[in-house]
Amino acid sequence: MNKSNILTLILVILFTGCASTQRSVSPQQQAFNNGTLLYSQEKYKEAAAEFKTALQLNANNYNAKAWLAFSYCRSGQNGEGIDIFNKLIYNNPTHYNNFNGLAYCYNENQQYDESISASKRALELKPNYSNAYFNMGVSYEKKHEYSKAIEMYQKAISITPNYSDASLSLAKLFLHNKNIDEAINVLQRASKFNPKNVKILELLANIYYGSSNFAKAKETISKAIEFQTHIGVGIRIKSINGFTVVDSLIPSDSSSNKEIIKGDIILEIDGNDIEGMHLKVVANKLSGPEGTSVKLTIQRKDKEFEKVISRAKFVEAKAASKLELRSLIERKLGSKDAALRDAQKANELDDSFGLISLAAINIDDKNYEQASSLLLKANNNIQASIFEAIMYAKNGNMQKAKEKYLNLTQDYALFENIALTTDIAELLSHLKPVIDELEQSAKNYNEQGKYNQSIEVYTQMLSFAQNKAEVEKINENMINTIHKMNELPAIGDKANKHIVRAEMFIKSGNYPIAIEEFNKALKLAPFSALLYFNIAILEGKIANYPLAIDSMNMYIKMAPQAPNVTSAKNQVTKWEVIMEQNKEQRISQEKKIDAKPLDTDEDIRKKSLRRIRKIPSK
């Protein structure tokens, strides 16, 4: 038996409804089929090896060349992929798919301007090509040109409403811009077109969790877990020279497959010979309702025997992250037993998951030593650090909890992850004595006329604000204090460093990074009206109008006597009109999308495969 012809398949024998036609294929076609299957399972290096084999058998196989190039770019060999697509373009300069592939590889190689040029050429050859718009969206996003990226993703979705990758990218950009309602809207619509897309469901569940909508979060993440839970015999298989061979077993509560071992050859299923049968057909024969049985004829070395296996429920390892999220949700809902079960199952499937939820449960039970040990294993995860601070606060060490939290606020990622909002709120609820103390200090300083010290305390308090309402209350008190002062505090060196960096990024046209720098300065000097003005103008330039309006309104409140306050108010009105117009356009576009027939992710994959296979070999 030639081991080099092995095709390892991560088909878990959990399929239902697979097509069942047995056919003989050429070695070249078999290698190509092997490659596409491995590619679909994200085993790109192995896929590349199969496509190279196909090309050795037929050097003019266009399909194998295109798939090889994609495999190279997916596995980090971007230069090789780019070279292949450039050669394909040289041989066929009028086919859009060659330019689309080149654009993808350029993005992987961080050559974003070159990728945009290739995508534009693809669109010249095939107008309304959603993949090209998506690639351009990725390019602009990587260049931090978020308004252009949003526009490209929206165009891709308007052409192909079930384009789940474009919907996910668009939703994440809305989250980046703090536009949570728009992100939810995009994901809900995407889920309508692709109800079984686990990535969409997981992101949506994280947003609901971060928004403290725990019932909706549980409902959504449970659907994702359901789609990664299957009924089968718990065997991973591979094909070796036409024989179906056991590659590994999947752990479950059922023990009926325990006598099967890696390397066993399955000769028959329920008395029917399966030699030469396609793996998907084998998977279909092994599938069935939970609790039913299937009889396998097994060959192990020189022995042949029969084994009856009961079909049971199996959860994919990829479900570990979803189970941990559901565990945290169950904890919030007060279902400790369910939370513990999900956390333990997540850790059983993948030992890098479940640690934080198990630690949280131990913190609730005041098992701080065990909780500390679990959090240590989480490898400096931001969420783990939040729960570490919660542990300190619940154990009475407020000073350490405060220090831990203030260190966390220096990490920009803390404010980028919507799911952390709920955990931060829990921590801040335990830090209320610290916050109350700061509030009293600010009040005392104001009464004593020590306004500079009062501003310093308000600056600290902003780090502890849980929501927009609390931020507005602190800012209002700080503005009242500012209006009593003859002179504002000086902006410190750290804040000034961020301002200088922002100015440099503005000169290079990199407005999103400039905004990040101004925001870092604002955390250190929230009394500066000019910082709010600059942020507003830049947010407007990248079409992030809600944040632009909020920042400009703060400028107007902080500097009501500024000479440009009237033009600032007029600018807010203009942005509001643009938002109204954009909303009308979006509603109109969504109505058009709703009128289109629904396809699934699988449909879009099959269509893309057909497009590639229709291209004649050169």
SS3 for 258-305 is CCCCCCCEEEEECCEECCCCCHHHHHHHHCCCCCCEEEEEEEECCEEE
pTM of the model: 0.79
Residue 271 backbone dihedrals phi, psi, to 5 degrees: 85, 0
* 118-to-73, 97, 124 alpha-carbon distances in Å: 16, 10, 10
Specify whether the CB–CB gap between 519 and 485 falls below 8 A. Answer: no
Closest among 255, 193, 203, 195 to 226, alpha carbons compared: 195
Top-ranked range on mean pLDDT: pick from 88-92, 324-328, 513-517, 585-589: 324-328
Nearest 5°: the CA angle 283, 289, 292 is 95
Is it the case that residue 441 has pLDDT exceeding 90?
yes
Question: Tokens in use for 329?
Answer: 């949700």
Is it the case that residue 49 has pLDDT exceeding 90?
yes
In order of start, what are the domains of the chain with their CATH numbers? 319-430 (1.25.40.10), 433-482 (no CATH), 493-594 (1.25.40.10)
What pLDDT sits at residue 589? 66
**Weakest-pLDDT range from 224-238, 318-332, 599-613:** 599-613
Distance CA 555, CA 528 (A): 9
Specify whether the CB–CB gap between 215 and 425 falls below 8 A. Answer: no
**Weakest-pLDDT range from 458-462, 493-497, 545-549, 600-604:** 600-604
Find the mean pLDDT for residues 503-518.
93
Find the mean pLDDT for residues 42-46.
90
What pLDDT sits at residue 594? 59
Percent of the chain with pLDDT over 70: 89
Mean per-residue pLDDT over the chain, rounded? 87
Is it the case that residue 11 has pLDDT exceeding 70?
no
Is it the case that residue 611 has pLDDT exceeding 70?
no
What pLDDT sits at residue 603? 53
What pLDDT sits at residue 592? 64
Distance CA 308, CA 107 (A): 50
What pLDDT sits at residue 6? 28
Strands (E), 284-405: 293-300, 303-310, 312-315
Distance CA 532, CA 305 (A): 76
Specify whether the CB–CB gap between 236 and 12 falls below 8 A. Answer: yes
What pLDDT sits at residue 299? 92
Task: Kindly report, residue by residue over 160-203, the tens digit of the pLDDT.
Answer: 999 999 999 999 999 988 889 999 999 999 999 999 999 999 99
pLDDT band for position 412 (cuts 50, 70, 90): low
Specify whether the CB–CB gap between 286 and 18 falls below 8 A. Answer: no
Question: In the 3-class helix/strand/coil scheme, how is 140-200 assigned residue by residue?
Answer: HHHCCCHHHHHHHHHHHHHHCCCCHHHHHHHHHHHHHCCCHHHHHHHHHHHHHHCCCCHHH
